[in-house]
Amino acid sequence: MSSRTALLLAVALVVGAIAVVFAMRSSGEEPELPRDHAQIAPGATFDDAEGAVDYYRALLRREPESVDARVRLAHALTQLGNERGTQTETIPEARTLLEEALERKPEDLHALSLHASLLNVLHQFEAGRDVSRKILAAYPQNAYAHGTLIDALVELGEYDEAVRVSDALQALKPGLPAYSRASYIRELYGDTEGAIAAMRLAADAAPGGRSERAWALHNLANLYLGDAKPDTAAFIYTGILEERPDFAPALAGLGHVALVKGDAQEAVRLLEESRGLMPLESTDELLVEAYAAAGDEAKSREAADRVHKALLAAREMGEVVDMEEADFLLDQGRDLERSLTMAKAQQERRPGHLHANETYAWALMHNGRAGEAVPYIERAMRLDTGDAMVHFRAARIYQAAGEPAKAAEHFRTALAGNLGVESPSAAKEARQLLAQATSAAPVQATRSTR
């Protein structure tokens, strides 16, 4: 699974958790609470998620049939898991609570809204899309449901409709959720400048010191880093830590900057510190690269094993991770036939999705079917996103398919597109293989972390 993919999952998760607040009645029967507890809505966040979990657990014990207590406990659990990186512990309970709430009150707007978000988190995008559309059929101006619908459509590869719904959200309720989603869509279409501008608006729309601002700034820094501006990215990551010293993703971002600049030891130090605060899968993916760059292959393998265990844990809680696991296994050179089966199923499930086509093409090549892979990798590049890793994989596929001129073209495009930011090891391999790209002989694939 790629660092980019993990980042997009984090964006969907966090933006879903902080999306637009809409009016919602507050139960008069509950004991008085601080305002953020008593008036919490699907798009808001708790100031103290752990305290909210404790409160709503106690309330549910007193009122075992309460729908509101179930929904709000699910909301607090989801936020707590986001903040601590413990989603595999909190999401299963949140899912059960929402299902119980909807059994008791099928049209509860808060429950339906959070359920749509949760389905997207679990990569059950078809269901997330359908629940979002159900909400919009009853409440056409509901901004939160516009957001969850955009997330589902993007992950299903239905980009044209995602753009249309995103435009509607911009008109309906401009703000952090609308701007951040617009930023990602612009990035998909290769508009890095536009993506940066939209993410700046998202960060500016959030109150200082809040987690939603930290995440928006983190994504802004990632965009700058991907655009080969590591000093700007480091400046933003450092600013996040001044506001929120324990924000682990910003520390990991500084580790990524160090890795890009060639300081493997400093990268390892920062990434290990970040992992100590929050054991994110994306941090372990960077550690795979950092340990390898530092010459510690044993620790690199250990970090890779943790990535795989995280994927298996996600599957255990109900998340559909076939594409991500196939990607990971292919990069490790393991279980190639099973990876092909998983990748094929995901490409058939969402035939327009860029990364689903890329993964299937990569799997075909690894299984000795490079010629068959070509149309799928070309479909993965159709939006001209500028994704360097896609071009690197395209080069490998064309090389294995006996098209050296195209291979050379895409190796150059990958290197010019800052491949070293996403994967220093892949950039090194690309430089080595570019010299061989004029040969018509297929070259056996080696590991290149996505």
- Here the tokens at position 355 are 């990364």
Last residue of a domain, one of 132, 147, 173: 173
Amino acid 343: pLDDT: 98
Contact partners, residue 435, CB within 8 Å, separation at least 6: none
- Is residue 156 domain-resident? yes
- Is residue 98 domain-resident? yes
Amino acid 154: pLDDT: 98
Question: How far from 440 is each of 133, 304, 406, CA to CA, in Å?
Answer: 51, 33, 11
CATH code of residue 401: 1.25.40.10
**If you write DSSP's letter for every residue of 387-400 in order, what string do you get?**
-HHHHHHHHHHHHH
Last residue of a domain, one of 125, 140, 173: 173
Amino acid 211: pLDDT: 85
- Is residue 383 domain-resident? yes
How far is it, in rounded angstroms, from Cα 49 to Cα 41? 13
- Is residue 292 domain-resident? no
How far is it, in rounded angstroms, from Cα 199 to Cα 180? 5
Domain that residue 82 falls in:
1-173
Amino acid 448: pLDDT: 54
Q: What is the CA radius of gyration of the chain?
A: 22
- Is residue 57 domain-resident? yes
Number of domains in the chain: 2
Cβ pair 23, 17 in contact under 8 A: no
Ordered per-residue pLDDT tens for the chain, 450 residues: 443 344 344 434 443 443 333 323 233 343 344 344 444 566 677 888 999 999 999 999 999 999 999 999 999 999 999 888 889 999 999 999 999 999 999 999 999 999 999 999 999 999 999 999 999 999 999 999 999 999 999 999 999 999 999 999 999 999 999 999 999 999 999 999 999 999 999 999 988 878 889 999 999 999 999 999 999 999 999 999 999 999 999 999 999 999 999 999 999 999 999 999 999 999 999 999 999 999 999 999 999 999 999 999 999 999 999 999 999 999 999 999 999 999 999 999 999 999 999 999 999 999 999 999 999 999 999 999 989 999 999 999 999 999 999 999 999 999 999 999 999 999 999 999 997 765 544 444 455 555
Cβ pair 316, 296 in contact under 8 A: no
Amino acid 450: pLDDT: 57
